Amino acid sequence: MSESGPWRSYKEKVAGLSQRVVDAQRPIRLLNSIRWGPEVEAELRRQKWKGLPPVDRAFYEANDPGFDPVGLGATFADLRADVVRELGDTDDIGRILAETCDEYRQVCRMVEVRGTKEFYELSRTLYGSSRDTFADGKTTVRDLGMLQYEILTNLDVDALGPVPPRDLDAAAGVRILNDRFAAVFGEEVVMTKLDDGIVADAAAGADYVKLREGASFSLRDLDLLEVHEGWVHVGTALNGQSQPVARWLAKGPPRAASVQEGLASLVETLTFRSYPRRARRLNDRILSVNKAEDGASFADVFEWFRTEGYEESECFASTRRIFRGGLVEGGAPFTKDLTYCTGLVQTYNFIRSAIRLGRPELIPFLFVGKLALEDIPALWERSRDRTVLPPKFLPPPFRDLNGIAVWMGYSTFLAGMHLPAVEDHYRKLLRVVTGA
C-alpha cells in the first residue's frame, strides 16, 4: 500500500464523493424552513383577508431549520474542492457533482437570508424567473403563462366532459394507489399511507406517497397522483437509490427541479390524466410569480386569485406558495413553482429533439434519477462502463417508445407551421360548423 492509500478506480471515487453529497444534504429541508404555521392563515381570516401576513425576517429567524446553514455551506465548499481534486475539472460527472455542491451551498444561503430580497435573488438563480426566455431566446416564461391563460380561461369546461365527484375518502385512495403501484413497481414496496400532518392533499417521499387524512378524492385525482407522484417522483427516487456508484441521483438538488416537476406534468398530459382546472392552477403560478416579481404584494396576488374564481382557502394556499421565504410586500417571491410549466416545455422539447436527431436511447434516462437535462448525455455515456445504471423502473408509456416517436414526429412538423394562418383557416371552418 502506498503512503496515500490503495489505488482507487474511477467508480470508487465517484461512489465515495456522491455518498458524501447524499450524506451532507440530508439535514436540508428548505420548504420546512420557510413554512407558515396555521396561525398565519388564522390571522388573515380574522382580518377578512385584508393587509399582509405577519411574516418577516424575524418570523423566519424564530423557525429553527434544524442545521447550521453557514457550517453546512462550508462543508459543501470543501466537498466541491475534493470533487475537482479527485475527478479533475473537465470530467462530466465531476461537473455534475461540483454544480450540485454549488447549488446546495446556495440553498444553505437561502435558509440564512429568509425574509430578505437576497432570498429571491438566489431563488431566481436556482429556479428561474418569469422573465427568462426559452431555448429560442425570444419567448419568455411570462409569454407562456399569458398564452395559456387566454386558452384555458376561454374553455367551456362543461362541454369537455363530466366532472367526477370527490366521493373517495383518503383510506380508499390509499388502497387504490397501492394496488396500482404494485402493478408498476413489482417487488419494490411503494406505500401510499395516511398522514394528518401535511398541508396539501398529497405529497411524495422517496418511496411513498402520503394522502392527507380527512381529504376527499375523485378517481381523476388518483389517476393524476398515480402518474405525477408515483411514476415520476417515486420512480426516479427508486432508480436513483438503485445506483451503486451514482448515488447522488437519489436526491433532488434545485438543478433537478425542472425535470422532476416538468416531466411529471408532461406525463400527466401524455397520459390524458390532466384537465383544464389542473392546468390552470399550474399556469396561474407563472402569472402570480410574475406579478410578485413586478412588485405585487401578498394582498394583491391573493385578490387576483380570488378574481379568478378560487375559494379563499385556495387563494391563501396558492399565494403562500409564492411568497414563503421572500417579501410579502412584493418584489421578491419564491420562484420554484415556475418549474412545473417551464420544465414541461423544456422536457417536451428534449424528447422531441431526441427523436428528430436520432437519439431516442437518451429518453429513458429522464427517469434514471434526479437530474438536469444537460446531465443526460454524460449519464448515458457512463452507462457503458456501469458508472451509471440504466433506469430500472420506467412508466408504461416509456417502456416502448414507438408511440412517442410518432407523436413527436408529427409535433415537429406541426411546430414548424405558420400558426396564425392555420388558426385563421380553422376559425372560418368552425364558424361554418357551429353556425356562427
Each residue of 117-136: pLDDT tens digit?
A: 999 999 999 999 999 999 98
Establish how many alpha carbons lie within 13 A of residue 56's alpha carbon, considering only the half-sphere containing its beta carbon.
Answer: 4
What local confidence, expressed as pLDDT, does residue 310 receive? 94
- The string of pLDDT tens digits covering residues 377-428 is 999 999 999 999 999 999 999 999 999 999 888 888 877 776 678 767 766 7
Predicted pLDDT at 417: 73
What phi, psi does 70 have (nearest 5°)?
Answer: -70, -50
- Cβ neighbors of 231 (< 8 A, separation 6 or more) are 184, 264, 267, 395
Mean pLDDT, residues 308-317: 94
The CA-atom distances, in angstroms, between 273 and each of 205, 223, 264, 339 are 21, 6, 11, 19
- Once rounded to an integer, what is the mean pLDDT over residues 222-241? 94
Pairing mode of beta strands 168-169, 208-212: unpaired
Q: What is the pLDDT of residues 7-17, one digit of tens each?
A: 999 999 999 99
Q: What is the pLDDT of residues 274-296, one digit of tens each?
A: 999 999 999 999 999 999 999 99
End-to-end distance of the chain based on CA atoms, in angstroms? 86
Element housing 194 (H / E) = strand 191-195
Of 168, 238, 253, nearest to 204 (Cα)?
A: 238
Looking up cell 402569472 gives: 287
Residue 435, pLDDT > 50, answer no
**CB 193, CB 248: distance < 8 Å:** no
**Nine cell digits for residue 18:** 456522491
pTM across the whole model: 0.91
What is the residue type of 173?
A: G
Radius of gyration of the chain (CA): 23
Convert the pLDDT of each residue in 16-75 to its tens digit.
999 999 999 999 999 999 999 999 999 999 999 988 999 999 999 999 999 999 999 999
Q: What is the pLDDT of residue 73?
A: 98
Beta sheet of 208-212, edge-to-edge order: 191-195, 208-212, 202-204
Strands, DSSP E only, in 249-376? none
Angle (nearest 5°) at CA 35 between 304 and 342:
55
Q: Sorting pLDDT into bands at 50, 70 and 90, what band is 246?
A: very high
